Structure 1
Amino acid sequence: MQLHASRLIRSPWLGGSAAALAVVLWALVPLLVTGAGELPPLRLATLALLAGALGTLPMARGGKRRDARLPKGHGVMVHAGVPLLMAGAVGACFASFSLAPPAEAALITYTWPVLFLLASRWRVLGRLPLATLGGALLAFSGAALLVAPEVLAGGFSGAWGGYGLALVAALCWALYSLACQVPGWRLGERMPHLLLVASVMTGVASLVLEGVSELPSPPALLATAALGLGPYGIAMLAWDRAMRDPQARRVGNLAHAVPVLATLFLVLAGVTSPDWRLPVAAVLVLAGSMTASR
Structure 2
Amino acid sequence: MQLRHSRLAHSPWLGGGAAALAVVLWALVPLLAADTQALPPLRLAALALLAGALGTLPMARRRRHRDAPLSPAQRVMVYLGVPLLVAGAVGACFAAFRLAPAGEAALILYTWPVLFLLASRRLALGRLSAGTVVGAGLAFGGAALLVLPDALAGGVSGAWGGYALALLGALCWALYSLASQVAAWRLGERLPHLLLVASVMVGGLSLALEGTHALPSRDALLATAVLGLGPYGLAMLAWDRAMRDPLAHRLGNLAHAVPVLATLFLVMAGVTTPDWRLPLAALLVVAGSLTASREPARHGPLRAPRRFRRR
Task: Report the TM-score, using the length of structure 2 for normalisation.
Answer: 0.91
Structure 1 runs of 4+ with >3 Å offset: 63-68
Deviations 1:58-81 (A, max 9, x none): 101437986763356311111111
Instruction: Say if 2:291 is the partner of 1:288.
Output: no
Q: What does 1:175-254 correspond to in 2, within 5 Å?
A: 175-254=175-254
In structure 1, the residue corresponding to 2:33 is in which secondary structure?
Answer: helix
In structure 2, the CA distance between the partners of 1:232 and 1:131, relative to structure 1 (3 Å rule), is same
In structure 2, the CA distance between the partners of 1:211 and 1:66, relative to structure 1 (3 Å rule), is farther
Q: Structure 1 residue 3: deviation in Å?
A: 3.1
Aligned to 2:309: none
Aligned counterparts of 1:25 and 1:83: Cα–Cα separation in 2: 20
Q: What does 1:66-105 correspond to in 2, within 5 Å?
A: 69-71=69-71, 73-105=73-105
Aligned to 2:62: 62
Aligned counterparts of 1:237 and 1:175: Cα–Cα separation in 2: 17
Deviations 1:177-227 (A, max 9, x none): 111110111111111101000000000110111111111111111110110
Cα RMSD of the aligned pairs, angstroms, is: 1.5
Q: Number of paired residues? A: 294
In structure 1, the residue corresponding to 2:185 is in which secondary structure?
Answer: coil
Q: Structure 1 residue 249: deviation in Å?
A: 1.6
Q: Structure 1 residue 148: deviation in Å?
A: 1.1
1:33 touches 1:94 (CA, 8 Å); kept in 2?
Answer: yes
Task: Report the TM-score, using the length of structure 1 for normalisation.
Answer: 0.97
1:21 touches 1:238 (CA, 8 Å); kept in 2?
Answer: yes
Amino acid at match of 1:128: L
Deviates more, 1:52-61 or 1:69-78: 69-78
Aligned counterparts of 1:66 and 1:88: Cα–Cα separation in 2: 32
Aligned counterparts of 1:233 and 1:293: Cα–Cα separation in 2: 27
Aligned to 1:17: 17
Aligned to 1:156: 156
Aligned to 1:137: 137
Amino acid at match of 2:153: A
Aligned counterparts of 2:66 and 2:230: Cα–Cα separation in 1: 26
Q: What does 1:246-285 correspond to in 2, within 5 Å?
A: 246-285=246-285
| Identity, % of aligned positions | 76
Runs of 5+ unmatched residues, structure 2: 295-311
Aligned counterparts of 1:149 and 1:255: Cα–Cα separation in 2: 27
1:180 touches 1:244 (CA, 8 Å); kept in 2?
Answer: no
Aligned counterparts of 2:156 and 2:132: Cα–Cα separation in 1: 31
